[in-house]
Structure 1
Amino acid sequence: MASVAIQNHETPLDLVSRNLKSERADSRCGALRELGRMSKRMSKRDIEQSLVPMLSDSDSSVQEHALVALSQLHGRAVDYAPLVATKLEQSRAKEVKRAALLALGSMGPLAASHAQSVQPFLGNQDLDLVVDACSALGKMRAANFADAVSSKLSSSDTDVVFAACMSLAEMDSHLQDVGKLLKHSDARVRSAAVNAVKSMTGAESFSAEIVPLLSDSDSYVRLGAADYACRLGGKVADLAGPAGKLLSDPSPGVVAAAAAALGGIGESAASQIPALEQALRNDGEDSSTLPLTVAGVSPKLVALLRKPACAAAAALANMGSAGATSAARLVECLNAKDWEVRVAALHALSRMPAASARYEYHISDMLRDEAPPVAAAACLAVGEIAAATGEANNSTARAVSELMEHPHPTVRARAVQGLGMMGDEAHAHVETFVALFGDRAWNVQAEAIRAVAKCGEIGQMFAPDVCRMTYQGSSAAVQVAACEALARMGHRGACFKEEVQALEDDMSEEVREAARKALKFFEHSEKSALADGARPALTEEPEPDE
């Protein structure tokens, strides 16, 4: 099929669009699903020729899929908001209405002028439509209808209450009404309330109500309470004492939530360091979310939200200089049987490199760990130590360099990252970094590009290779790394300004933004050079031949 497309000068978008003319509705729906996946590549002309006409298709399922595809355009679809609002008001098909509500919500505040078309659905007898209407109004930031959404907080349906909470959080309205639900008898409502409150103005006034939620019987309520503390940090320092008392709770889930909360509060919770050091020895694990993970309902929680020891290690790393005094206790965790605990300890040690330097021998031993995440974390830790002390141990650098050939891509990426922090030791491996531009893993390519940029004048010699990655990179992240690296390479990087300018039309917003920043940096550097009296390179007299 690819060869046919090339011969006929057809793009993948053209091939998909041809199926929109199929007599079969399921084929048209399939084509619309593909268009949704290709939404970032679609121009306005593509949208108007392929997608918009399908809103008037004779089959309601096709209309539904067209609206869902339109929702994946987000703010780019705002010009078609009137068409979507009309479809919402006139269609009799429930699924079309739900898709229209989804599409309007996806346009965000840009579509707020059409909120009046959404508001009537708050009183609909079909609760699915009520939920969708709440969500759409919240995403549209339609604060004029906050009172109407707030009335749904008293609904007997938890899905409606959940959607109303999230909607009011996005509007940043009715904090007190949402806060009252923190004591609700239904765990799902409590979870919705705490997750809504944490992002609203004045959320710190509910810190007293959050304390009991850290030891709630429902794991998602506990996690919401912990995240509340992480969001607000020092503003809720009064939580530190009550949270510290929970570190001795028999439930691993409660201890993990309390430790995560203390980590979020940070240095203001330094009084709880002794209790956190005790929690490092807690080898329990909260398995309450495991059934949902196995069922595919929710992803597996990260270790610091499941395991007290991991949460305590992360919390100590957030305590600044006070937490750094616990480096010896964290080093003891490197002997833990649980690899996730070893990883957590290494990540914590990497964030207190000056204090960890005296334990570099123990940390470098972890480079040979059989668990790839542990070896990867050790690479980062020794790199941070070298950067902090200004010295790199030759034998450690050699051990890290060997891991650039590790079969696991994360280990290779971390090895490059760690070695790139080692100054002169990194310079000796610059050609290896460049060779890794061709690695099959995008994260290895990105770290290799960053490492070359850190090699100063030696790395600048490979600016053409870095420039090549702005358009040959295997992902947007690689292209972004290449743009940032060229910006760091001074005059030699600026030589490729035209290539970077071409990325201003890239399909990825992330790449376009990176290109714009690099170009601004080039411009600023040129102005600074001229202001300092430097002459442009082309006006300099050539040096005589030797």
Structure 2
Amino acid sequence: MATLAIHNHETPLDLVARNLKSDRASQRCGALRDIGRMGHRISRRDMDQTVVPMLGDSDSAVQEHALLALSQMGEKSQAFAQMVAAKLEQSRAKQVKRAAMLALGSMGPAAVTHAGSVQALLRERDLDLVVDACTALGKMQATQAADEVAATLTSPDTDVVFAACMSLSEMDSHQQEIGNLLKHSNARIKSAAVNALKGMSGSERYSSDVVSLLGDKDSYVRLGAADFTCRLGAKAADMVVPIGKFLSDSDPGVVAAAAAALGGIGEAAASQIPALEQALRNPGEDSSTLPLTVAGISPKLASLLRKPACAAANALSNMGTAGATSAPRLVECLNSKDWEVRVAGLHALSKMASASARYEYHVVDLLRDEIPPVAAAACLAAGEIAATGAANSSTARAVAELLEHPHPTVRARAVQSLSKMGDEAHAHIETFVSLFGDRAWNVQAEAIRAVAKCGELGQMFAPDVCRMTYQGLTPEVQVAACEALARMGTRGASFREEVQQLENEQVEQVVKDAARKALGFFERAASSALTDKVPALTEEPLEEE
């Protein structure tokens, strides 16, 4: 019985750590993998007792997995940078060296004093080690190694060039050398260059070269160019006309990339609205990335990066009042046989809610669409239209019917939509509270937010919200509960002790941060209440009624 009691008090880490004493290297590696998955939940003391001793294991595979575990520990691993650097220098095993560089890179600038150990590997014949060295130096922001990293840009190996570009981007160094690669014959290198430049200072001077890549034959080069332009935003206004010329291209991938770029520029690209309205009728799709998606190598691209109609709808919605004049054209998208185009049209209309209010009945029709993403997008659009002051009971009833939809995203969007409908939401507040027990975390989070938006009526359910700070399915739900309590004024502040206890619990850091922020709101609310109710000594006494 005594032994059973001890085991019942063991933590998950204790159970996993038993395998670190196994005679089998595979079991020790497995235990280290499990510890690595625990990541930020592992304390510095736990690391000292479990992971660190394994760095001296007789089996190189175990050493490798110990280093990989350290790479997942966040800032706490920084205290072991010296040990990791020593392992990098002393070990002859390739997999140990690679894992050590990954660990040092994960420590970021805090490990930059050990950059010399990594930099030495830039001269290795094994290109895998060169790639890892470039990557680690970039994450460490080891600018003292920038010249030597830049020298690898001339490597015939595309993996090395790619890693060097990304490394120099993080160091914000050698922009000119990277800019020269925009005209390289290899598509992967062009893609690396454009993606590296978009995060670097002074990158706008390469905008004309990047814009020409919107018409590149390679989809990833085009997408990199579109993203580059979106990041520049209004700074790329001078490029609007050259970009607009691509909207008439025969390749749907080129049209989609150009429309996406114009959407990123925003209102400064309003001159291209007529051409974008034409693109709304383009039924094409870029399928060049489909083989990689089917093979599981890369995720499926968002529809606005594949389909001209979707990209054009998004672009028009980003053009302010000028784009709102295209609402009638966007409504036509709601009749498309392509469900992704219907979704894009609804999302666009939700961003121009005032102009879309007259088409509310078209939106309500799609609440019954058999494709869940369409129904969810219709909920969002209906809520945004209602938020402009156009809420009505019939729309609210139609949205409320979806609170029991089998798809969680639809339920979550239905809750979110109703929460924007003012008094119409109050009739459903008990349903919102019942959804605190939903099996989907996003539904729980939206239900909590909806209750908080119901004012004094919602404050009556503060105890239920407080329970979700502990019982929420995920950290996102717990954060939503903390934020909701902060919005509930003195009712929420009455649960100060429960929220304060979260700072000492084994919860994710984001939850602790949300709890700390909520406590700050409580303190300000309390001081404000005192200021409101207690007259200052220098003021005249209040007159009796």
Interval containing the TM-score (normalised by the shorter chain): over 0.9
CA distance in 1, matches of 2:291, 2:8: 51
CA distance in 2, matches of 1:509, 1:398: 39
The equivalent of 1:180 in structure 2 is 180
In the alignment, which residue of structure 2 is the partner of 1:297?
297
Q: Which residue number in structure 2 is paired with residue 453 of structure 1?
A: 452
Residue of structure 1 in register with 2:532 after alignment: 532
Give the equivalent residue in structure 1 for 2:310: 310
Distance in 1, Cα, partners of 2:85 & 2:264: 42
Q: Name the residue aligned to 2:541.
A: none
Letter in 1 for 2:11: T
Distance in 2, matches of 1:139 and 1:146, equals: 12
Q: Are 2:14 and 1:14 equivalent residues in the alignment? A: yes
- Aligned ranges for residues 387-426 of structure 1 at < 5 Å? 387-388=387-388, 390-426=389-425
- Are the aligned partners of 1:40 and 1:507 in contact in 2 as well (CA < 8 Å)? no
SS at match of 1:38: helix
Residue 76 of structure 1: how far off its partner (Å): 1.6
Q: CA deviation at 1:144?
A: 1.3
Query: Residues of 1 paired with 2:519 and 2:390: CA distance?
Result: 34
Identity of aligned residues (%): 74
Instruction: Report the residue type matching 1:402 in the other structure.
Output: E
Q: How does 1:54-133 map to 2 (within 5 A)?
A: 54-133=54-133
Structure 2 contact 305–311 (Cα < 8 Å) conserved: yes
Which residue is equivalent to 2:440? 441
1:541 corresponds to: none
Tell me the equivalent position of 1:49.
49
**CA distance change for structure 1 residues 6 and 321 in 2, over 3 Å: closer, same or farther?**
farther
Structure 1 counterpart of 2:353: 353
Write the mapping of 1:210-359 to structure 2, written as runs, cut at 5 A: 210-359=210-359
Residues 129-159 of structure 1: per-residue CA shift (max 9 Å, x gap): 0000000000001111111111111111110
What is the rounded CA distance, in whole Å, between the counterparts of 1:464 and 1:507 in structure 2? 20
Q: Deviation per CA, 1:156-199: give whole Å up to 9, x if none.
A: 11100000000010011111111110001100000000000011
What is the rounded CA distance, in whole Å, between the counterparts of 1:426 and 1:530 in structure 2? 32
String of CA shifts for 1:350-378, please: whole Å, max 9, x gaps. Answer: 01100000100111111011101000000
Alpha-carbon distance change, 400 to 6 in structure 1, aligned in 2, over 3 angstroms: farther
In structure 1, list runs of 5 or more residues that go unmatched.
Answer: 536-546
**Are the equivalent residues in 1 in contact too, given 2:263–2:316 (CA < 8 A)?**
yes
Letter in 2 for 1:178: I
> Which secondary structure does the structure 1 equivalent of 2:237 belong to?
helix
Relative to structure 1, the CA distance from residue 324 to residue 534 in structure 2 (aligned partners, 3 Å threshold; closer, same or farther) is: farther
Structure 2 distance, partners of 1:17, 1:121, is 33
Evaluate the alpha carbon distance shift between residue 534 and residue 329 of structure 1 in structure 2; reply closer, same or farther with a 3 A threshold.
farther
Counterpart position of 1:368: 368
Contact between 2:357 and 2:390, CA under 8 Å: does it hold in 1? no
> How far apart, in 1, do the equivalents of 2:308 and 2:302 lie?
12
Query: Displacement, 1:504?
Result: 1.8
Cα distance in 2 for partners of 1:534, 1:250 equals: 72
CA distance in 2, matches of 1:42, 1:71: 12
C-alpha distance in 1 between matches for 2:143 and 2:395: 58
Partner residue in 2 for 1:166 = 166
- In the alignment, the residues of structure 2 paired with residue 504 and residue 257 of structure 1 have an alpha-carbon distance, to the nearest angstrom, of 46
User: How far apart are the structure 2 equivalents of 1:531 and 1:142?
Assistant: 52
Which residue does 2:542 correspond to in 1? none
Query: How far, CA to CA, are the matches of 1:433 and 1:200 in structure 2?
Result: 45
| Number of positions where the alignment pairs a residue of Structure 1 with one of Structure 2 | 532
Give 1:6 deviation, angstroms.
7.5
TM-score normalised to structure 1 length: 0.96
Map Cα deviations across residues 469-519 of structure 1 (whole Å, 9 max, x no partner): 000000000001001100100010111111111222343121111111111
Coordinate RMSD, CA, aligned: 1.2
Give the 5 Å matches for 1:135-214: 135-214=135-214
Preserved contact between residue 293 and residue 299 of structure 2 (Cα < 8 Å): yes
Residue identity opposite 2:275 in structure 1: A
- TM superposition score normalised by structure 2: 0.96
**Residues 4 and 290 of structure 1, relative CA distance in 2, 3 Å threshold:** farther
CA contact (8 A) 1:5 1:11 kept: no
Q: Distance in 2 between matches of 1:534 and 1:317?
A: 50
1:40 CA drift (Å): 2.1
The code of the aligned residue for 1:440 comes to R
The one-letter code matched in structure 1 to 2:57 is D
Q: Could you tell me whether the CA contact under 8 Å between 1:74 and 1:108 is conserved in 2?
A: no
- 1:532 positional shift: 2.7
The amino acid that maps onto 2:176 is Q
The CA deviation at 1:75 is: 1.9
Map Cα deviations across residues 112-141 of structure 1 (whole Å, 9 max, x no partner).
111111110111111000000000000001
**Contact 2:39–2:74 (CA under 8 A) maintained in structure 1:** no
Cα distance in 1 between the residues matched to 2:498 and 2:180 = 56
Identify the range of structure 1 (511-520 vs 417-426) with the bigger mean alpha-carbon deviation: 511-520
Q: CA deviation at 1:533?
A: 3.4
Letter in 2 for 1:485: A
d(CA) in 1 for partners of 2:173 and 2:216?
26
Cα distance in 2 for residues equivalent to 1:409 and 1:528? 40
Q: Unaligned 5+ residue runs, structure 2?
A: 536-545
Cα offset, 1:8, TM superposition: 3.5
